[in-house]
Amino acid sequence: MALNSKIPAGPLDKKWETYKSTCKLVNPANKRQLEIIVVGTGLAGASAAASLGEMGYKVKAFCFQDSPRRAHSIAAQGGINAAKNYQNDGDSTYRLFYDTIKGGDYRAREGNVHRLAEVSANIIDQCVAQGVPFAREYGGLLSNRSFGGTQVQRTFYAAGQTGQQLLIGAYQGLERQISLGTVTMYNRHEMLEVVKIDGKARGIIARDLVTGELERHFGHAVLLCTGGYGNVFYLSTNAMGSNATAVWKAHKQGAYFGNPCFTQIHPTCIPVSGDHQSKLTLMSESLRNDGRIWVPKKQADTRKAFDIPEEERDYYLERRYPAFGNLVPRDVASRAAKERCDAGYGVGSSKMAVYLDFASAIERYGKVEAHKQGKSNADKATIYAMGKDVVKEKYGNLFEMYEKITGENPYEIPMRIYPAVHYTMGGLWVDYELMTNIPGLYALGEANFSDHGANRLGASALMQGLADGYFVIPYTLGNNLADDIRTKSIPTDHPAFVAAEKEVSDRINKLMSIKGKESVESFHKRLGKIMWDKCGMGRNAKGLKEAIEEIKALRKEFWSNVRIPGEIKEFNTELDKAGRVADFMELGELMCMDALNRQESCGGHFREESQTEEGEALRDDEKYMYVSAWEFKGESQFEMHKEDLVYDVVHPSARSYK
Amino acid sequence: MNWKDYFSTSIGKKILVGATGLFLIIFLVVHCYVNAMVFWPDNGKHFTDAAAFMGGNAAIRIVEIGLFAAFFIHIIQSLMLASQNAKRRSEGYAVKAGNKTSKWYSRSMGLLGTLILLFLILHLYHFWGPNRYGQFFDPTWKEDNLYNNMLFTFKELWVVIVYLLGCVSLCWHLMHGVASSMQTFGLATHRYKGMIKSVGMIFAILIPLMFASMPVYMHCLSTCMAH
Amino acid sequence: MEHYNMNLTLKVWKQKNCKEKGKFETFQVSNISSEMSFLEMFDILNEQLVAEGKEPIAFDHDCREGICGMCSMYINGRPHGPWHQTTTCQLHMREYKDGDTIVVEPWRANSFPVIKDLVVDRTAFDRIIAAGGYISVNTGNAQDANCLPIDKQKADESFAAASCIGCGACVAACPNASAMLFVSAKVSHLALLPQGDPERKMRASNMVKQMDIEGFGSCTNIGACEAECPKGISLENIARLNREYIGAMFSGSKEG
């Protein structure tokens, strides 16, 4: 099947405008007859379900958590980008578009990204109208801050809890539609299969996680808004429940998987403290504005941080990238930290961490403060106390969180940080209308592959999730459903539903019947280790080939030796997890295959064979300027389709931060 | 929602409790002011005059009906709320937070209120009952000399002790009640909540202390006179 | 910080489902590192139970960074354990020492029925939000965000109220199992903003009505909710809800 991205013709800045004014519409009476299934209630899912409900569609929304408000969008800290140019610093739709394309290392579609930049401003308007309490200036207008990879201040924020505030805004909109009866909510439900009838997605099989019963749900269209798959790595900044099951089931039903190997590793996370570790916690990117990153110059140095004199410290980012210093993009900072730790310079008990030190920032701010207060002869202790107050005001909540987790006071001892898996740019392949190659099946937000190329810029995930849900899908869904208004609801005793349910039920029975020795958690940890070691920050052909074999072997072992206690027809978290881990083990293999195929380094994907003499990433636009869209052909069999990326407006160039 | 609906919700009921509580607080102030006249060194003349005025004034008698209504609503509504609230958690906790997260008297308003009610019955029996009974049913009635009544009643040590216990209950009840009623009316804002708390505490100590000193004083007085 | 290992006795509430009666069961865990989070300690216990062929303990959790509001353990008499303004997932084992006994119970309130072990059903909160905890604005109707200047102090207060994570610790802590702190946080969040003004009366009365229907207790201003709230939601919000309610009562519209 040829990939048709359906990008509208015409100049870049008119494409979306033209699409909106020419797309087909569905009249209100017909909307009431059309049923839409939305899986996932994060920013993309909640905003889509609420908006479609408002428009009059009959919506069913599903989430595996106990409430739609728990989706992991809630954990986003930093902010949301929008090309408002409120700061009069030269921002524009084009600049946001350009920064996003460049930040993605030229592996995203121009058309999609430009649309994202266009609707970004509407998102802020919409959120403010809903009552999202963004940070404000004393004049009462909205405040902005800057984020990595940009030269303007376009990030809107609500302290360090922007994701929470945006999600609650969308959740409230969703609850309003629930109360009006346009949306029916299914909490603690997990989607386990896509039902296809005559080649179109027409429903899902979901499992009620409380009773364990399987349910059939019909929909004229199915929207997957189920987030990313970072938990393939076991340890990530994702929530414990974040999973790839919905997109993986869709993939196995024929939906192509786009760029599965593109994973973002965030440089500033609290390091692993031991084998017991269940997840990793992010320390906001904003800390790199003031913190200096260093390791000792001596290998395996066991002295305490403050015992190491200045001249024996290696501020390696400042040394390697004098132009950007500690503010290089996420992928670059992450790789540099790994390089130092691998070479034996790491700190902390695990030796897999580097210092993020605020001592000089405290001193600098302290001096400024002392000067402001006219105390030019202030002693060191006074300056320190004053500087500490300034740092506390800026980053207090993050420092507190760090102290809760590590038990160390980051004002006194430098923070220890290490990179961790954070976001997946890859996802289901979708066209301009956010539809996968299965008609009627859509993917929104992090679940699709579309807008971030090979690396996502900070504060862009929230933007994309809400853009897809509030402003894109309401148009594109109507355009497709306009041809479906004569399709009556299909009863769920249709053979396709029966067969799909049987498939799901057989798989669950099979899992339960293994009755082996090893826990699901243990398999997940082992998978994570393979993925992190061989398909993590640095990848090479040998490692990837090994990883593929190891994953196959692990999968075989899983299906013969996993132990799942409890029953099927009850609340059984081990069973839920087993299904997810089983899917991760298949997806992990595909990620390695994609990484093996892409013999270039771009964005978060670093192939060790493809680097410059100084160890920097080397892109290969000649051979790899395409989206790899993988088709499932059977166990361990995937066929790659290429969607060539055409740049009409932007001219790809090498990224340098020296 | 109509008025009835508004007063039937959990907040509506609390507003009734708070409003009647506030009315009772005002009553306490008046009661305390009038009774404090026993300390006037004139063998109770001032006090007896004031008591006679209170007893004989028709307006006061009418307000008294309101006072009883307030007592009645305050007690019934609170007891109903307390019993409903007690049913909100059928299976209790094995380990309780106790005083780590709240004050014992805030959690024990029902108990303190019941103790005050028991005291109140005794108190009415001692003073208000005989006097008001006569006013309505005895054609030869003349306002009792309450000063002498007090001297007589508080001669008994056990009565004094019961009254003191009543005052202690009242103190703890008010310790929560004054500030709580302000919170119920939404007055405990950032600006005023500290003030409300302090005033409430001072009130909760001062008024019961005044009341407590009366039986003690009368007891001492009557003991002195006996000698 | 010095790390150490410890052995602990855990008394955990086990309950098969909402219909059957539950009871405490005692478990021993050994070699627990002081660096672990409380939930990681539970992971270890569950791994141990699976290895022994027993059913693991069901508990709710998701983000494990203190923001999703899913975790909900009542630890030694305190919702989310002893640390101030901390969720269960952020509580760490250095709080405990070798030989300690820890009693873990689910949130207890008739409005939060137990689903299994430590997992409770908090959908009552969703229904309260659905009763009015929103601003009725459809997608696509918004004016420019800066058309509406908002007093910074009000915006900050609104944000502080909106930072509620809906975990239900307030209900769990309240001797009356009242949900007033939760409801008042939402009413405050929206009442403090001009966008929320048109619906404020209806919102306050409808949410309170729904709160009562769900069977939460009434607020008697005890204050345990504020003391246990992991996000530091203030009692001032309850005062504000009371004001909003009284305002609605005296000037209420037909529907409100």
User: Domain of A300: which CATH number?
Assistant: 3.90.700.10
Could you tell me if A398 and A501 lie in one domain? no
Domain at A557, CATH number:
1.20.58.100
In a domain, residue B128? The reply is yes
In a domain, A209, yes or no: no
Task: Report H helices in A350-379.
Answer: 359-372
Q: Chain C: nearest CA to A389, how far in angstroms?
A: 20
Residue numbers of the domain that contains B180 = 3-85+103-226
Contact B176 C221 (CB under 8 A): yes
Give the strand pairing for A221-224 and A441-443.
parallel
C-alpha distance from B14 to closest chain C C-alpha (Å): 8
Q: Considering only CA atoms, which of B212, B214, B215, B181 is closest in space to residue B196?
A: B181
Q: Hunting for tokens 């429903």 — which residue is that? A: A203
- Report CB contact under 8 Å: C189, A133: yes
Domain extents in chain C:
5-116, 123-251
- Can you give the pLDDT at residue C254? 58
Same domain, A408 and A524: no
Within 8 A of B186 by CB-CB distance, chain C residues are 239-246
Amino acid at C206: N
Instruction: Please report residues of A whose CB lies closer than 8 A to that of C71.
Output: none
**Is beta strand A263-269 parallel, antiparallel or unpaired with respect to A415-424?**
antiparallel
A2 pLDDT higher than 90? no
**Which is nearest to C219 in space by CA: B221, B88, A184, A256?**
B88
Considering the domain architecture, whether residues A393 and A505 belong to the same structural domain is answered as no
What is the average pLDDT value for chain C, to the nearest integer? 95
Positive/negative CA dihedral, B124, B126, B128, B132 = positive
Contact A46, A70 (CB under 8 A): no
Considering only CB atoms, which chain C residues are within 8 Å of A282?
65
Query: Token digits for A215?
Result: 């349910």
Average pLDDT over residues C87-109: 97
Residue B90 belongs to some domain of the structure: no
C-alpha span between A623 and A408 (Å, rounded): 48
Residues in chain C: 256
Asked whether the beta carbons of residue B10 and residue C178 sit closer than 8 angstroms, the reply is yes
Q: How close A356 comes to chain C (CA, Å)?
A: 18
Which residues of chain C are within 8 Å of residue A173 when distances are taken between CB atoms? 134, 137, 139
Q: Could you tell me the pLDDT band of residue A326, with boundaries at 50, 70 and 90?
A: confident
> Tell me, what's the pLDDT at A91?
95
When mean pLDDT is compared across A147-151, A603-607, B60-64, the lowest value belongs to A147-151
In the structure, what pLDDT confidence band is assigned to residue C255 with cuts at 50, 70 and 90? low
Mean pLDDT of the region A508-520 = 97
CATH of the domain at B57: 1.20.1300
A523 CB neighbour count, 10 Å cutoff: 25
Q: Are C68 and A70 within 8 A, CB to CB?
A: yes
Domain span at A516: 495-624
The residues with which C13 forms a beta bridge, in sequence order, are: C24
B15: which chain C residues are within 8 Å (Cβ-Cβ)? 242, 246, 249
Q: Which helix (DSSP H) or strand (DSSP E) does residue B96 occupy?
A: none
Neighbours of chain A (3+ CB pairs under 8 A): C
**Non-local CB neighbours of C108 within 8 Å, separated by 6+ positions:** B89, B91, B92, B93, C74, C172, C177
C195 and chain B: CB distance < 8 Å anywhere? no
Q: How far apart are the first and last CA of chain B?
A: 67
Distance from CA of C163 to the nearest CA of B (A): 18
Question: CB contact, 8 Å: B4 with chain C?
Answer: no
Whether B87 has a pLDDT exceeding 90, the answer reads: yes
pLDDT at B191: 93
In contact, C155 and A126? CB cutoff 8 Å = no
Task: List all residues of chain C from 66 to 105 with a beta carbon under 8 Å from chain B.
Answer: 74, 76-78, 103, 105
Is 90 exceeded by the pLDDT of residue A152? no
Residue B96 lies in a domain: no
Contact yes or no for C217 and B188 at CB 8 A: no
Comparing CA positions, the residue from A98, A129, A131 lying closest to residue A116 is: A98
Measured between beta carbons, the chain A residues lying within 8 angstroms of C35 are 273-274, 276, 406-407
Per-residue pLDDT band for C1 (boundaries 50, 70, 90) equals low
The number of residues making up chain A comes to 658
- Is B95 among the domain residues? no
Q: Where are the beta strands (DSSP E) in A102-232?
A: 155-156, 183-186, 189-197, 200-208, 214-218, 221-224
Burial (CB count <10 Å: 0-12, 13-18, 19+), residue A540: middle
Residue A136 gets which letter from DSSP? B
CB atoms closer than 10 angstroms to residue B199: 14
Q: To the nearest whole number, what is the mean pLDDT of chain A?
A: 95
CB contact under 8 A, B88 and C109: yes
CATH class of C123-251: mainly alpha
Greatest pairwise CA separation for chain C in angstroms? 64
Q: Which of C76, C175, C240 sits opposite B107 (nearest CB)?
A: C175
3+ Cβ–Cβ pairs closer than 8 Å linking C and A: yes
For residue A464, give both structure tokens: 């994309």
DSSP states of A454-492? TSPPTT-HHHHHHIIIIIIHHHHHHHHHGGGTTPPPPPT
Question: Is B152 a member of any domain?
Answer: yes
Task: Please state the domain count of chain A.
Answer: 2
pLDDT average, residue stretch A61-69: 98
Token pair in block for residue A629: 């869209």
Best mutation target among C20, C72, C218 (most B Cβ atoms within 10 Å) is C218
Beta strand extents in A514-617 (DSSP E only):
518-519, 562-563
Residues A276 and A363 in one domain: yes
* Chain C stretch 175-214, residues whose beta carbon is closer than 8 A to a beta carbon of chain A: 189-190, 193, 195-196
Looking at beta carbons, which residues of chain B come within 8 Å of C111? 88
Considering the domain architecture, whether residues A274 and A394 belong to the same structural domain is answered as yes
Q: How many domains does chain B have?
A: 1
Question: For C150-167, how does the pLDDT look when each residue is reduced to its tens digit (9 = 90+)?
Answer: 999 999 999 999 999 999
Q: What is the CATH number of domain C5-116?
A: 3.10.20.30
Instruction: Determine contact: B83 vs chain C, CB below 8 A.
Output: no
Nearest by CB to A278, which of C40, C69, C162? C40
Contacts of C26 in chain B (CB under 8 A): none
Cβ contacts below 8 Å, chain B against chain C, sum to 143
Smallest CA-to-CA distance from A50 within A554, A474, A492 is with: A474
The answer to whether position B212 is within a domain reads yes
Min Cα–Cα distance to chain A from C74, Å: 18
Tell me whether residue A592 is in a domain.
Answer: yes
Amino acid at A506: D
| Residue B176 reports pLDDT greater than 50 | yes
pLDDT of residue B224: 87
The token pair at C177 is 């199992």
Where does the pLDDT of residue A378 fall: very low under 50, low under 70, confident under 90, or very high at 90 and above? confident
B101 and C219 within 8 Å at the Cβ level: the answer is no
Inter-chain touch B188–C239, beta carbons under 8 Å: yes
Q: Is the pLDDT of residue A626 over 70?
A: yes
| Residues of A carrying an active site annotation | 330
Residue in chain C closest to A138 (alpha carbons) equals C152
Residue whose structure tokens are 């019947």: A513
The sign of the CA dihedral A177, A180, A181, A185 is positive
In this predicted complex, what is the ipTM? 0.97
**Residue-wise pLDDT tens digits, A153-170:** 999 999 889 999 999 999
Residue B91 lies in a domain: no
The whole-number average pLDDT for the span B53-80 is 92
Pairwise CA distance, residues C236 & A161, whole Å: 22
> Each residue of A184-206: pLDDT tens digit?
999 999 999 999 999 999 999 99
pLDDT in tens, B113-165: 999 999 999 999 998 888 777 777 777 777 778 899 899 999 999 999 999 99
Which residue of chain B is at minimal alpha-carbon distance from C202? B1
The residue of chain C with its CA nearest to that of B103 is C222
CB A55 within 8 A of CB C46: no
Band of the pLDDT at A386, cuts 50, 70, 90? very high
> Once rounded to an integer, what is the mean pLDDT over residues A536-550?
97
Q: Of A68, A128, A237, which is closest to C148 when you measure between CB atoms? A: A128
Residue C256 confidence (pLDDT): 47
Mean pLDDT of the C165-172 span: 98
Cα-based torsion angle of the residue sequence C65, C67, C71, C72 in order, rounded to the nearest 10 degrees:
130
State whether C193 and A131 contact (CB < 8 Å).
Answer: yes
Integer Cα distance of A402 and C234 in angstroms: 24
Distance from CA of B21 to the nearest CA of C (A): 13
**In sequence order, which residues have a C-beta less than 8 Å from that of residue B2 and are 6 or more positions away?**
none
Contact state of B95 with C76 under an 8 Å Cβ cutoff: yes
**Contact yes or no for C103 and B94 at CB 8 A:** yes
**Against a cut of 0.90, is the pTM above it?**
yes
Model confidence over C114-145: pLDDT tens digits? 999 999 999 999 999 999 999 999 999 899 99
